[in-house]
Amino acid sequence: MKQLTRETDSLTHFKRETGRVIQQLKKTGQPMVLTVNGQAQLVVQDAAAYSQLLTAMERAEMLAGIKLGLSSMERGDGVSFDVAVAKLRKRHKIPKSA
């Protein structure tokens, strides 16, 4: 597991001070690692910050896919656009006039 260096708090303290911690999470936008017996167990985060994290992850995955495709193209793998379209038309029974 990657070392978690974010703000850390015990789950017990989080339960006692939930309202205060939620305000802090919304204010900072930073996640908080919750521990049980001193060991990281959970990560809590404001919904808006989590949404931003998901967006960043989707972008990273998209860029990785583009890089993979470009590498494949540079190696000469794959087929031409015309061949790909012809295969799709055949597979999905799409007439050439469409």
Q: What is the pLDDT of residues 2-34, one digit of tens each?
A: 555 568 999 999 999 999 999 999 999 999 999
Does residue 59 share a domain with residue 20? no
pLDDT score at 15: 96
Determine the pLDDT at residue 97: 74
Determine the pLDDT at residue 20: 95
Judge whether 32 lies within some domain: yes
In 1-98, the DSSP E strands lie at 7-10, 32-36, 39-44
Number of domains making up the chain: 2
- 51, 39: one domain: no
| Domain boundaries, position 13 | 1-45
Q: Which two tokens stand for residue 68?
A: 């993979």
33 and 64, same domain (yes or no): no
Please tell me the pTM assigned to this model.
0.65
Q: Is 98 inside any structural domain?
A: no
52 and 68 fall within a common domain: yes
38 and 64 inside one domain: no
Are 67 and 85 members of one domain?
yes
- Note whether 51 and 62 are same-domain residues: yes
More confident residue, 16 or 96: 16
Q: For 30-70, what is each residue's pLDDT tens digit?
A: 999 999 999 999 999 999 999 999 999 999 999 999 999 99
Q: What is the pLDDT of residue 79?
A: 87
Do 37 and 3 share a structural domain?
A: yes
What is the maximum span of the chain, computed from C-alpha positions, in angstroms? 68
